[in-house]
A and B are shown apart, each in its own frame.
Chain A
């Protein structure tokens, strides 16, 4: 199983039946493909869709219907389409139950940085600040380290923040971690790895509360 697949397979388990969920650009939008076709959920896409669903069949693909990442989505029964002001009213009025979002950096306080790497790669804020500040629950999906092997899960974020203390849970390719008042608590390991090895790949201090102890 690839690193990405491992994250997505674990991430899909976060979606509770009956919920309204936003899936951010990058890894999160791919979570939709792991949902069973009859799963009771409404996917919100900030470009103005409630009830977005998996890519339509080729002959039904609509160039005027994409999700926020540009993928050609379909609509479920009961879907609605609306303008960007309504879409973000829905977000700021906290009608979304869950947002899964990517990160450049995330830290032990639940701070999130995902919009700006000064002078290098600044994709911009998009919907991230409002989603992060106003969604009931924020789950970050990220590789545990960056492409150079450096930790992305830090003591304190160094990049400009998207929002403070907004993250509830982090799902990496190695572990599931909750943000608590006592810092990051490892709930599950997704691979065979010792506590010490996982800590070595994580700048933030980890405490371990995994079922069945060290893998």
Chain B
């Protein structure tokens, strides 16, 4: 069951490559593996916490004000997380800067609250938050590895190929789009192939 859930979060319902949610922070922080990892884990934390709380309180929230309520809950966790990051890893705070507070408006989190946590019990919501967060983190890791290598000849701040001239465009937003498009295309190509085979 866990393997199935993991596959759902990381591959079949991957938030970036399949659902195409949360692309703004993805473009912004997938410039280096360190940033991508930090952002992915931070988002996973918020996703798990908000999913649990929302699935607990869902029955007491009137439908008309559910979105503002969800946003308040999400923003609360983001604020608390921001304080914790400032205490424990100030360097991550200075690297990610504005994108930590902006986790509050990441569509994946509100998306999971609305699509999953509001209809399921706390335990399954926890699992959903965890696997979706891991999927987001995995996607960020893939993108940031490619972008940091092509744009800076580095992976995890370590040099890769001696004498390789990095292409700065991959660190910039356009390069981010190129990489996301290529990876998405590849994934769809292979999934399409598999689907076609299954039909035959």
Do the two chains bind?
no
Q: A residues bordering B, Cβ < 8 Å?
A: none
Q: B residues bordering A, Cβ < 8 Å?
A: none
